[in-house]
Each structure stands twice: as C-alpha cells, then as structure tokens.
C-alpha cells in the first residue's frame, strides 16, 4: 500500500510542485490549505507523513504541529516543516514541538523526496521496533499471567479453592467484570448452580447463583463443549449472549471455554463483560485457551488428590452411619455399601443374629439416591403367616375376617423408596411365590382385590439363615433366592472384629451411663481383656445387653470384669462360639451342647435355663430352638411369658 503524504500549505504553486513530485514517486498526496483543515482531515486519512508550511493564515504551522502531536491518530506521525525562514531559532522551536526536519524554500524535488523517504524509513523502523517491543511485552505478560495462574492453582489441592483462585487471577489478567464456573457442564440439566467471582460488588447478585438452563443456554453450552478453543459471545460475534444471561446479569459480552480434566466431567469457564461491549482480541483468545489447558491439568491433579484422600479416609472410618467400628472387616462393609448404594440391584444382607443387618440396610438407603423417599421395614418373623401378605401388599375391606377397612401395605408405602425385608428366610413358600411375582414385575394386588398396581421400590433383604442350604432343603424358592441376592453383603461376627469390641463397649457404656444417670466413665484393663477374649455368640446385640446390665446392676466409675454376666449366676468366660444348628446335618445335639447345670435347684429354674441356653445356642432363633427341644414354638413363647422374658422372635 502506498504511503500517504499530507501537504498543508496555503500557496497553490507549492502545492502543485509538491503534489507532482510526490505523486510521480508513487505516494498518495492529499492536500489542505490551512491548519484547521489539516486537524480535521487527519481523522479520516491517517497520513504516514505530513509536510507542514509554517506561515499560514489562521493558526500557523507551529500551533498546528502542537495540536497534531496531541491527537492520538498523529502523535507518532513524522512532521516536516516547509518554510522560507532560515532563522535557527525558528528551526529549534519547530523541533522542540515535535517536528522531525525542515525543508527550506525554494526547495528542490530531489531534496524533498530524499527527506521524505528518510523519515518514512525511520518511522517504519520505529513502528517495527514498537511492534516488536509490544510483542515482547505481550509475551512477558503472557508468561507472567501463566505464572500467576500456576502459583494460584498450586497453592491448594482443594478443587473448590483452586478454581476460586483461578477465577480471581483470570479476572485480573483479562480485566473483566465477572468470572463464572459451571460444573458439571450438562446441557440437559434443568438448572445449574454457578460459582461467581467479580471485580466490583455491583456485578455480584449472589455467590452461587441458580440458573435455569433454557434451550438458548443449553445450545451455548453444547457449542462451547464441542469447540476446540474459547468461544466469544457478543454483538459483533456470530455467537450471541443468551437472552436470559444478558437480561438477568446485564452481560454484553462473554468468553467461554470448556475445560476437560482427565478425571470427571467437563467444566465450563466463562468471562463476562457487563460495563461495555467488548471485542475479544486474538491474543486474549490464545491466552484464555492456554489458561484452560493449565487449569485442566491442575484440576485433574486436584481431583486425583481429593479422590486419593477420600479413598484413604474411606479406608479408615471409625463410624459409618449407625455402624461403629474401624476394623478391616467393617471397612470392607463400608466400601461395599458405598459401591452398591447407588445401584438398582437387589441386595441380600446375611450374617449371624445381632451383627447389624438392619443398620446395614439403613446405611444403604441413606447412601442411595432414594434417601429422601420412604424407608419401610418388614420383620417377616414377627408377623403371623396368615397376615404376611396383607402386611406387605395391603387388603381391601372384607378380604378376610377382621378386614373391616381397606389397608395399605408396606409395598405401597415404600413407593419411590426402599423396602427392607428382615428375616426373609422365615416366609412360607406361598408368600415367597407372591413376593417373587412382585420382585419380577414390580406389580402387586391387594389381598381380596384383582386390581394390579405398580410401584417403584428398591428391595433390600436380610436373613441369618443359609438360604442356599434352605433352597437345597426345599424350604426356599431358588428363583426368588437369585432374584433377591444380586449382591450379597455378609456382615462379620463381632468375634471377627477385634478392637471394635472395645470401641462398641465404650460407646454403649457412655450411652447407658447417661440414660441410667450412673457415673461410669471407662472400662478396667481386666474388663477389656475379658471382653476381647469372649466369643460373643449373640454379637453386638449381646454386647449391648451385657454393658447395659453391668451399668444397671453396679455402681462406680469403672466397669470391672466381675461386673459382666450374660445370665444370672453366669459370668462371662472364654468359650468356643456355638454354631448355627444345621438341620440337614446328621450331627446329634446332646444336652451338654445346650446347658451345663452344676448346681441343684428347682426344676422350673432348670427348665428356664435349658430353654434360654437353647435359644442362645441357636443365635436367638426360637423356631430352631423349638425343633432342637422337640416342643412347639408356642410352648417356648408361653414359657418365656411365664419367665417374663421377651427375646426377639425369629
């Protein structure tokens, strides 16, 4: 492109000569006849050099030069004075106010061209040097900005703090009004909560703003996630600021970038300009892209550290919901619950009586996505056979004798939530068949009704029986067994949990000391030793009862070994834990397996001792105890009623 030389002279002859010689040399030569006209013309043509006469009507060349040097468009434009004056004082004055040279009248075309080319060359070299300096300054600023971002993101391994630091640095570097984050950047979500940082308080509505994701915003998120770099939104861009964002937050221009860490879903990082319509430069887009790349790396590391910390914490939990214990077997249970809680699979919880199967079911429920929905419990062993289906599925009025009103079952009450069937092994084959249909179809009918109803229920079951053995014995349906045991969680016996015994004992001690208004604060060394040496056939429930009994029957601040007992006149001692009787085994149970009586007493007391020992031997299962003693289950309950004892019915 040909350089433009502006001639400012009121003498027509000078204008003609200068115009001719410069045009012949290939320059564009606009011309004006006064200083006032020159000040207006430069705004439109942006000359590369100005030839300025000193003596002109109106404002003279000196004043015109002063004013040109104050204008942004001509402050760096070389000005050569044309004058007939030879006084050195005038020349010095011209140089002082910004002129670069003088051409004396009468002038020669060769001299004019030589001086013009010389100063155009100098001007071009200065422009190149300034451009190089600007590039170097941009590069230094670029590096300094990345260094500032690196320092801010490396100060913490906490993801939230790191991203907050990143937003603050980005705001400073890009001199923006507002920075925001969106995570996860899900265009299909109904709404999103957006953390915000601002440079001025008036740009902040709330620290975390809930924004509904309209179709327009969803489209913008999709565009950003699919782009390889930042996307500029604004009046001058093909991408327009979503109307909801522009209206609610007064956003005029926006710059958005998708951040893809190696772990987790993508984030959306945005810069917003509210005070003006901003045109984002190429350098700003490149720098913002590099910011995104750096943040993605730092974010991935921070997420990795947090996941590692969570894993370490998850492997050393001393409590988990209502569970108490830090042993390795319990850590395994906690991890299993973490992993299965969010699935839709049916879960079977197994383990000896008193190991905490209901606590496990509650933990699964609380960790699941149904935690805000109902959690219904059905103890299958506590309900008589003829009422089990009604209890589970409900009944209509008149369905059977005593059904005076319609009744809603637990299945319906648990809709949307979780249904826990405890002691499912106690169900009859008839009830199992009805339950199987429900498990397969999630539909049911109330007793006495043909209307089919559908529910959304997550099923969790528990038993202390060996259901696989029950299937072989024909007492439990094989198809139902496989339906309810997609995942099995086997709870460890208390004797397998080591130091958890002392942790639980101290917990129960403080609990019951408070309830009973006793002064007990700790366990003696011999008490701890005795607790750890005992096999605890009744597991946590037995330990709880033992501590409660010791607190009630004794006084003091420390529980000693002598204060422990499971039954009257029976002190806890180290024993081999009784196993659950296997009704399929040919092993013959003798009286010595049940009770050892070393004293003479009334037959009633011996009878009571035998029944109690039989129930304990069967881990609290009255049905199995009745079979062992060859008496009816009703007889046992009648006897226990006489003894004023009320064990758990299994």
Give me the residue spans of the domains in the chain: 5-127, 155-309, 320-492, 494-577, 580-650
What is the Cα 532 distance to its own chain's centre? 41
Task: Give residue for tokens 């009994």.
Answer: 549
Report the CATH fold assignment for 155-309: Beta-Lactamase (3.30.450)
Task: Assign 187 to helix, strand or coil.
Answer: coil
User: Would you say 369 and 412 are in contact if contact means Cβ atoms under 8 Å apart?
Assistant: no
User: Would you say 288 and 257 are in contact if contact means Cβ atoms under 8 Å apart?
Assistant: yes
* 5-8 and 31-32 beta bridge pairing: parallel
Q: Is pLDDT at 483 greater than 70 in this prediction?
A: yes
Same fold, 5-127 and 494-577: no
pLDDT digits (tens, 9 = 90+) for 514-537: 999 999 999 999 999 999 999 999
**pLDDT number for residue 642:** 74
- Which band of pLDDT confidence, cut at 50, 70 and 90, is reported for residue 208? low
- Among candidate residues 168, 148, 164, 176, the one with its CA nearest the CA of residue 271: 176
**pLDDT number for residue 600:** 44
Tokens linked to 445? 């009918």
Task: Give residue for tokens 């299945």.
Answer: 411
Report the CATH fold assignment for 580-650: Arc Repressor Mutant, subunit A (1.10.10)
pLDDT digits (tens, 9 = 90+) for 136-167: 777 777 778 878 888 888 888 788 888 888 88
User: Would you say 386 and 350 are in contact if contact means Cβ atoms under 8 Å apart?
Assistant: no
**Angstrom distance (rounded) from CA 410 to CA 375:** 10
The mean pLDDT value for 285-297 works out to 89
- CA of 369: how far to CAs of 16, 340, 374, 617, in Å? 89, 11, 12, 40
The mean pLDDT value for 52-62 works out to 91
Tokens linked to 217? 């915003």
User: Would you say 361 and 535 are in contact if contact means Cβ atoms under 8 Å apart?
Assistant: no
Q: What are phi and psi of 635, to 5 degrees?
A: -65, -40
Lowest mean pLDDT among 39-48, 318-327, 586-595, 641-650: 586-595
184 preceded by a cis bond (ω within 30 of 0): yes
Q: Is pLDDT at 580 greater than 60 in this prediction?
A: no
pTM given for the model: 0.49
**Superfamily covering domain 320-492:** P-loop containing nucleotide triphosphate hydrolases (3.40.50.300)
List, in sequence order, every beta strand (DSSP E) within 514-579. 522-523, 558-559, 565-567, 570-571
DSSP string, 175-188: T-SEEEEESS--TT
User: Would you say 299 and 158 are in contact if contact means Cβ atoms under 8 Å apart?
Assistant: no
User: In this structure, what is the dihedral angle of CA atoms 596, 598, 604, 608, given to the nearest 10 degrees?
Assistant: -30
**pLDDT number for residue 444:** 92
- Which band of pLDDT confidence, cut at 50, 70 and 90, is reported for residue 648? very low
**CATH classification number, 494-577, choose in 1.10.238.10, 1.10.8.60, 3.40.50.1820, 3.30.930.10:** 1.10.8.60
Beta bridge partners of 179: 197, 271
Tokens linked to 647? 């064990």
The beta-carbon contacts of 305-308 under 8 Å, at least 24 apart in sequence, are 305/157, 306/157, 306/158, 306/159, 307/263
**pLDDT number for residue 134:** 77
**Angstrom distance (rounded) from CA 21 to CA 41:** 22
- Ramachandran category for residue 514: left, alpha or beta (phi over 0 → left; psi -120 to 50 → alpha): alpha
pLDDT digits (tens, 9 = 90+) for 97-149: 999 999 888 888 898 999 999 999 999 999 888 888 877 777 777 778 878 88
**pLDDT number for residue 575:** 44
- Which band of pLDDT confidence, cut at 50, 70 and 90, is reported for residue 53? very high
User: Would you say 467 and 348 are in contact if contact means Cβ atoms under 8 Å apart?
Assistant: yes
**Angstrom distance (rounded) from CA 369 to CA 353:** 28
In this structure, is the dihedral angle defined by the CA atoms of residues 530, 531, 532 and 534, taken in order, positive or negative? positive
**Angstrom distance (rounded) from CA 639 to CA 239:** 83
Q: What are phi and psi of 632, to 5 degrees?
A: -80, 155
In whole numbers, what is the pLDDT of the chain averaged over residues? 85
The mean pLDDT value for 29-48 works out to 93
Write the class of the CATH domain 5-127. alpha beta
Tokens linked to 552? 């009630």
The neighbour count for residue 39, using CB atoms within 10 Å, is: 18
Q: Could you tell me which residue, 505 or 630, shows the higher pLDDT?
A: 505
Q: Considering the chain, what percentage of its residues have pLDDT values greater than 70?
A: 90
């Amino acid at each position: 492109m040909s350089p433009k030389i502006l001639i400012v002279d009121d003498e027509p002859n000078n204008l003609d000569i200068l115009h001719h010689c410069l045009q012949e040399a290939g320059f564009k030569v606009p011309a004006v006849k006064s200083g006032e006209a020159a000040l207006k013309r430069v705004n439109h043509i942006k000359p590369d050099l100005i030839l300025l006469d000193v003596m002109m009507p109106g404002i003279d060349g000196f004043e015109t030069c002063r004013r040109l040097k104050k204008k942004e468009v001509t402050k760096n434009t070389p000005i050569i004075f044309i004058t007939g004056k030879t006084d050195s004082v005038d020349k010095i004055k011209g140089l002082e106010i910004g002129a670069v040279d003088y051409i004396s009248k009468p002038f020669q075309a060769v001299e004019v061209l030589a001086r013009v080319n010389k100063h155009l060359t100098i001007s071009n070299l200065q422009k190149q040097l300034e451009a190089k300096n600007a590039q170097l300054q941009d590069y230094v600023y670029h590096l300094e900005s990345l260094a500032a971002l690196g320092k801010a993101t490396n100060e913490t391994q906490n993801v939230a703090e790191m991203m907050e630091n990143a937003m603050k640095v980005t705001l400073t570097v890009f001199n923006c009004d507002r920075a925001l984050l969106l995570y996860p950047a899900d265009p299909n979500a109904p709404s999103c909560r957006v953390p915000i940082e601002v440079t001025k308080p008036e740009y902040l509505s709330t620290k975390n703003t809930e924004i509904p994701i309209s179709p327009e915003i969803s489209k913008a998120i999709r565009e950003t996630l699919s782009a390889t770099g930042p996307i500029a939104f604004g009046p001058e861009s093909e991408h327009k600021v979503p109307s909801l964002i522009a209206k609610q937050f007064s956003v005029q221009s926006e710059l958005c970038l998708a951040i893809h860490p190696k772990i987790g879903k993508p984030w959306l990082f945005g810069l917003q300009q509210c005070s003006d319509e901003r045109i984002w430069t190429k350098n700003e887009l490149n720098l913002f892209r590099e910011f995104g790349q750096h943040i993605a790396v730092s974010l991935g590391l921070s997420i990795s550290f947090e996941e590692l910390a969570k894993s370490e914490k998850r492997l050393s939990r001393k409590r988990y919901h209502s569970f108490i214990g830090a042993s390795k077997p319990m850590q395994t249970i906690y991890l299993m619950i973490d992993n299965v809680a969010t699935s839709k699979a049916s879960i079977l919880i197994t383990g000896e009586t008193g190991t905490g199967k209901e606590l496990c079911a509650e933990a699964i429920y609380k960790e699941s996505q149904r935690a805000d929905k109902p959690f219904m419990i059905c103890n299958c062993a506590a309900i008589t056979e003829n009422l089990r289906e009604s209890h589970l599925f409900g009944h209509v009025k008149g369905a059977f004798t005593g059904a005076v009103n319609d009744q809603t079952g637990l299945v319906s009450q648990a809709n949307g939530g979780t249904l826990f069937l405890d002691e499912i092994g106690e169900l009859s084959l008839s009830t199992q068949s009805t339950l199987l249909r429900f498990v397969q179809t999630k539909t049911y009918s109330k007793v006495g009704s043909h209307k089919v109803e559908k529910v959304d229920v997550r099923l969790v079951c528990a038993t202390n029986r060996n259901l696989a053995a029950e299937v072989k014995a024909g007492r439990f349906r094989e198809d139902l067994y496989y339906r309810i045991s997609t995942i099995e969680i086997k709870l460890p016996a208390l004797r397998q949990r080591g130091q958890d015994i002392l942790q639980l004992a101290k917990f129960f001690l403080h609990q019951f000391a408070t309830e009973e208004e006793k002064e007990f604060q700790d366990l003696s060394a011999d008490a701890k030793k005795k607790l750890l040496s005992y096999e605890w056939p009744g597991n946590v429930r037995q330990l709880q009862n033992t501590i409660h009994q010791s607190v009630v029957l004794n006084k003091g601040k420390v529980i000693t070994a002598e204060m422990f007992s499971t039954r009257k006149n029976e002190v806890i001692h180290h024993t081999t834990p009784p196993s659950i009787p296997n009704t399929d085994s040919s092993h013959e149970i003798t009286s010595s397996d049940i009770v050892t009586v070393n004293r003479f007493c009334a037959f009633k007391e011996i009878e009571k001792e035998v029944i109690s020992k039989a129930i304990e031997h069967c881990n609290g299962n009255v049905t199995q105890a009745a079979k062992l003693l060859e008496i009816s289950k009703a007889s046992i309950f009648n006897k226990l009623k006489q003894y004023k004892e009320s064990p758990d019915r299994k």
